[in-house]
Amino acid sequence: MKTIQLLFLVSMLFMVHEYAAAQWCPEGSFESNSLANWQCYHADLYVGGPNNGTFGSYVAGEVPFTNHTIIGNFGTVYGMPPVIEGNYSLRLGDAGNQQLSRIDHDFLVTTPALKFYYNAFLVNPAHNPADQPYFEYVVSQGPTIIAQQKIVSGNSPLLEEVGGFASAPVESTNWMCVGVDLSAYMGQNVRISFRVADCRGGGHAGWVLIDGICGVSPITAAFTVDHFFCSDEPIIADGSASKFELTYRWKITPTDSGGNPTGQAVVWQAGNGLVGRTNIKAIYRNVTGQVLPCDQHYRLELTTQNGCLDEATDSALIYVECVPEVDAGDNLCLTDVNRLYQGVNIGRAGFAAVPGITYRWIPATHVQNPNAPVTSFRLPAGAAPDLPMKLVLEATAPNGCTARDSMYIQSQPQFTIVREQEDCCGIFLRVDAKDPGSLDIRWSTGETGPRIFIHENGTYSVTVANACASASDTYVVNDLDLERYWRTLNPVPPAEQVLYTEGTQQLFPGRRAIVYHTEATDPPYGRYSATHYKLDVYNRWGQLIRVMEDSIDLCSGFPPETIGWDGKVDGQYVQEGVYNMRLYLKNCRYQDWVPMKVTWCSRLETICLDSECLLSLIRFNPCGFLKDLACYEVGQRCLGTSSDFIFKTTFTP
């Protein structure tokens, strides 16, 4: 038999709910707000009589007493919550006296363990122990008692005063969690029984709250971790394989190679939650404020708890090797690159090689002793210096931990100016430098930094300086034609006005209401000065029903008939009626939409473009006194215009 109890702090109670939701619970979880499948009993007590009474049973759900009551999660009981899992708990017993209440439940064991919670409230009148209120639970299989405990008021270390009177204080266990090992009874029927009794002399009650009767699996602690680490890498322990933990802690103990402790352990209590992946070095730093020492063996120990089912532990031995020290020395700044043919020293002067550590320079070409931390570099005659040049010194410890440091041999900055096309608003000029570290870059425009944005032709120069020297270069731009996209977007620019040609005509399927510029129909399509347009369409009630947006292609303006509406919304033609439109433009200077005033023809006249005279006998004077009798080509002439930010069209299906 194995029974574990823990007194839960009130601040931890609600954390249990999420954990319990994933467990299998017997039918007696009370969450259905019912006592179905429970057997309820009641007996009267009297002084001198037996303190277990003679029980009479009755059907659950038809209890004539208040001794067996499902209660909800509201308020508090002497400052403690009435429910700690779900929404309901059982109250066994009441504020009456000389009564004994009992409730039983039989269930099939399908999980290796059972847990439940109780909070007993017993008045202590300081009577004879046999007459005192008490609470008792029993878990049994037939005649075999698996777990049992009886708590008598005034006679248990689990009880403490929470209220009442000085002569008869109310004592409470607070919420207790009980875990019962049922692994030996898998597949068998087991009974759980609760009893609570009042004082046999009368006037002093006993009652208990019961909740969270659920089957659970035994808690396990398990983690995986590599057994060797270098001091410059994280130590990741993955505890995801642990099961049923509510809290956990890590313990880090220095040991010898055999795992025997050699120093003080560092313990980190994680609090609530699942283990998951943990960086052991971060734990050590958080607890001690120091870096985990290297060239040292450690035992890592994970302990998991869930409050009722004891705790579980897993451990592993690891070794942390120190990364070797390495110093490639300072960068070399050569004002005369011919020194490379004579040889220059590389590495930190005075740095001594450590026994057992291997060193190498990368690349080793032209390094006089590539396996020494301090040596020299010399170019052979005829070899061209390729500066700046990066040299890396690598140091490797016996078990493979490696450290690297680098240095540069450099002269004046080596760079080129690169042109990068951005969009119709301009281009970028960028310094592409080989030099390491920080560079001081200053452009003729007054800007600093590796890249500038331009939209005008001209000669642009840049000066680049490193720790050694400075160098300058220029770049000529003479092919930009982007000025029009930086103009002012005047809502009514006289020379750049747009014209809405079909404002008074019928818009019908197959015909679009088009906004176009008056100046050109061929590339570059006039002078909109715009890179983007937006055309909004509103119905007669002022509701926005469609938005059309686009940008220019290849910096050549908007082709004819680009800006327009085909009378459709969501692919379907709209209903017959009058619709309003608004045009917005933006360009490189104006990144927010600018509303544009549109001019359209408000009144049209039909004219005859090509006519023929009938019955004319005088060919030298076409038509003579006769009138034009036949028009072969008809045109229209605008007799009046309107201009506004809102322009109309009429759609006819």
pLDDT of the residue at 575: 93
For residue 47, CA distances in Å to 98, 125, 202, 469 come to 9, 14, 9, 107
Same domain, 379 and 356: yes
- Model confidence at 515: pLDDT above 60: yes
Same domain, 527 and 624: yes
Write the CATH number for 47.
2.60.120.260
Residue bearing the bigger pLDDT, 185 or 11: 185
- Model confidence at 3: pLDDT above 80: no
User: Could you tell me if 212 and 115 are in contact, meaning their C-beta atoms sit under 8 angstroms apart?
Assistant: yes
327 located within any domain:
no
Average pLDDT over residues 265-279: 86
Q: How many CB atoms within 10 Å of residue 197?
A: 28
pLDDT of the residue at 481: 83
HSE at residue 331, side-chain half, CA atoms within 13 A, is 17
The label of the residue with tokens 């010898």 reads 256
Q: What's the rounded Cα separation, in Å, for the pair 267 and 249?
A: 7
Please write the tens of the pLDDT for every residue from 332-350. Answer: 988 888 999 999 999 999 9
Average pLDDT over residues 593-607: 76
Q: What's the rounded Cα separation, in Å, for the pair 152 and 190?
A: 25
Q: What's the rounded Cα separation, in Å, for the pair 305 and 326?
A: 45
Average pLDDT, the chain: 82
Q: What's the rounded Cα separation, in Å, for the pair 237 and 386?
A: 46
HSE at residue 540, side-chain half, CA atoms within 13 A, is 7
For residue 459, CA distances in Å to 181, 337, 414, 443 come to 87, 31, 20, 11
- Model confidence at 63: pLDDT above 50: no
For residue 348, CA distances in Å to 109, 435, 464 come to 73, 21, 28
Which of 146-155, 238-247, 557-566 shows the highest mean pLDDT? Answer: 146-155
Same domain, 491 and 572: yes
The label of the residue with tokens 């190498």 reads 360
Residue bearing the bigger pLDDT, 539 or 270: 539
Q: What's the rounded Cα separation, in Å, for the pair 131 and 157?
A: 19
Same domain, 209 and 259: no
* CA 223 from centroid of its chain's CA atoms: 25
Average pLDDT over residues 469-498: 78
449 located within any domain:
yes
Q: What's the rounded Cα separation, in Å, for the pair 93 and 194?
A: 10
326 located within any domain:
no
Give the model's confidence band at 387: pLDDT under 50 very low, under 70 low, under 90 confident, else very high: confident
Please enumerate in sequence order all residues whose Cβ is within 8 A of that of 646, keeping only pairs 6 or more positions apart, or say none: 580, 581, 582
Torsion angles phi and psi, residue 249, rounded to 5: -145, 150
Give the model's confidence band at 509: pLDDT under 50 very low, under 70 low, under 90 confident, else very high: confident
Encoded tokens for 325 = 């020290």
272 located within any domain:
yes
Poorest-pLDDT segment among 188-192, 472-476, 613-617: 613-617
User: Could you tell me if 123 and 218 are in contact, meaning their C-beta atoms sit under 8 angstroms apart?
Assistant: no
- Model confidence at 493: pLDDT above 70: no
Please write the tens of the pLDDT for every residue from 277-298. Answer: 999 999 999 999 999 999 999 9
Encoded tokens for 35 = 């006592």
pLDDT of the residue at 631: 60
User: Could you tell me if 459 and 475 are in contact, meaning their C-beta atoms sit under 8 angstroms apart?
Assistant: yes
Encoded tokens for 322 = 């120190």
For residue 119, CA distances in Å to 52, 154, 213, 405, 487 come to 21, 16, 13, 65, 81
Q: What's the rounded Cα separation, in Å, for the pair 269 and 598?
A: 72
Same domain, 472 and 494: no
Residue bearing the bigger pLDDT, 60 or 533: 533
Q: How many CB atoms within 10 Å of residue 96?
A: 16
DSSP 8-state symbol, 504: S
Torsion angles phi and psi, residue 137, rounded to 5: -125, 150
Same domain, 308 and 340: no
Give the range of the structural domain holding residue 435, as residue numbers without chain letter: 415-477
Give the model's confidence band at 611: pLDDT under 50 very low, under 70 low, under 90 confident, else very high: low
Query: What is the DSSP pairing of strand 332-333 with strand 402-410?
Result: parallel
Q: Is residue 393 packed enough to be buried (19+ CB in 10 Å), middle (13-18) or exposed (0-12)?
A: buried
222 located within any domain:
no
Mark which of 435, 453, 477 sits at the end of a domain.
477
pLDDT of the residue at 561: 75
Poorest-pLDDT segment among 158-162, 325-329, 612-616: 612-616
Radius of gyration of the chain (CA): 46
Q: What's the rounded Cα separation, in Å, for the pair 395 and 402?
A: 6
Please enumerate in sequence order all residues whose Cβ is within 8 A of that of 388, keeping only pairs 6 or more positions apart, or say none: 408, 409, 410, 411, 414, 434, 435, 436
For residue 46, give the nearest of 131, 125, 129 by alpha carbon: 131
519 located within any domain:
yes
Please write the tens of the pLDDT for every residue from 453-467. Answer: 999 999 999 999 988
pLDDT of the residue at 6: 38
Mark which of 410, 437, 465 sits at the end of a domain.
410
Q: How many residues belong to the chain?
A: 653
pLDDT of the residue at 184: 93
Give the model's confidence band at 186: pLDDT under 50 very low, under 70 low, under 90 confident, else very high: very high
pLDDT of the residue at 524: 46
Same domain, 98 and 122: yes
SS (H, E, C) 43-98: EECCCCCCCCCCCEEECCCCCCCCCEEEEECCCCECCECCCCCCCEEEEECCCCCC
- Model confidence at 517: pLDDT above 80: no
Write the CATH number for 378.
2.60.40
Q: Which neighbouring-strand residues pair with 39?
A: 104
Q: Domain tally for the chain?
A: 5
pLDDT of the residue at 505: 52
Same domain, 243 and 102: no
User: Could you tell me if 507 and 513 are in contact, meaning their C-beta atoms sit under 8 angstroms apart?
Assistant: yes
Poorest-pLDDT segment among 270-274, 277-281, 379-383: 270-274
User: Could you tell me if 129 and 155 are in contact, meaning their C-beta atoms sit under 8 angstroms apart?
Assistant: yes
- Model confidence at 416: pLDDT above 70: yes
Same domain, 422 and 273: no
The label of the residue with tokens 């009577």 reads 127
Q: Would you state the torsion angle of the CA atoms of residues 452, 457, 458, 462, taken in this order, to the nearest 10 degrees? A: 20
Please enumerate in sequence order all residues whose Cβ is within 8 A of that of 408, keeping only pairs 6 or more positions apart, or say none: 331, 332, 388, 389, 390, 391, 435, 436, 437
Cis omega (within 30 of 0) for bond into 388: yes
Residue bearing the bigger pLDDT, 76 or 250: 250
Same domain, 563 and 609: yes
267 located within any domain:
yes
- Model confidence at 229: pLDDT above 70: yes
pLDDT of the residue at 516: 67
Torsion angles phi and psi, residue 547, rounded to 5: -130, 125
pLDDT of the residue at 497: 47
Q: Would you state the torsion angle of the CA atoms of residues 105, 130, 67, 14, taken in this order, to the nearest 10 degrees? A: -70
520 located within any domain:
yes
Give the DSSP H/E element, type plus range, for residue 116: strand 113-123
Please write the tens of the pLDDT for every residue from 544-599. Answer: 999 999 988 777 777 767 888 999 999 999 999 999 999 998 989 888 998 888 87
Please write the tens of the pLDDT for every residue from 302-335. Answer: 999 876 767 899 999 999 999 999 999 999 988 8
For residue 85, give the nearest of 142, 29, 41 by alpha carbon: 29
Residue bearing the bigger pLDDT, 321 or 520: 321
For residue 225, give the nearest of 283, 170, 296, 302 by alpha carbon: 302
Q: What's the rounded Cα separation, in Å, for the pair 329 and 556?
A: 56
Residue type at 63 in one-letter notation: V
pLDDT of the residue at 58: 37
Q: How many CB atoms within 10 Å of residue 627?
A: 9
Encoded tokens for 9 = 């702090």
Give the model's confidence band at 235: pLDDT under 50 very low, under 70 low, under 90 confident, else very high: very high
- Model confidence at 180: pLDDT above 70: yes
Poorest-pLDDT segment among 145-149, 195-199, 432-436, 500-504: 500-504
Same domain, 392 and 498: no
Give the model's confidence band at 32: pLDDT under 50 very low, under 70 low, under 90 confident, else very high: confident
Q: Which neighbouring-strand residues pair with 149?
A: 137
pLDDT of the residue at 496: 44
pLDDT of the residue at 528: 65
Q: Which neighbouring-strand residues pair with 132?
A: none
Which of 17-21, 433-437, 572-576 shows the highest mean pLDDT? Answer: 572-576
Q: Which neighbouring-strand residues pair with 582?
A: 536
Average pLDDT over residues 389-415: 93
HSE at residue 409, side-chain half, CA atoms within 13 A, is 23
Poorest-pLDDT segment among 112-121, 243-252, 443-452, 622-631: 622-631
Encoded tokens for 16 = 């249990």
Q: What's the rounded Cα separation, in Å, for the pair 274 and 436?
A: 46
Same domain, 293 and 368: no
Residue bearing the bigger pLDDT, 270 or 462: 462
Q: Is residue 250 packed enough to be buried (19+ CB in 10 Å), middle (13-18) or exposed (0-12)?
A: buried
Write the CATH number for 443.
2.60.40.10
Mark which of 442, 459, 477 sits at the end of a domain.
477
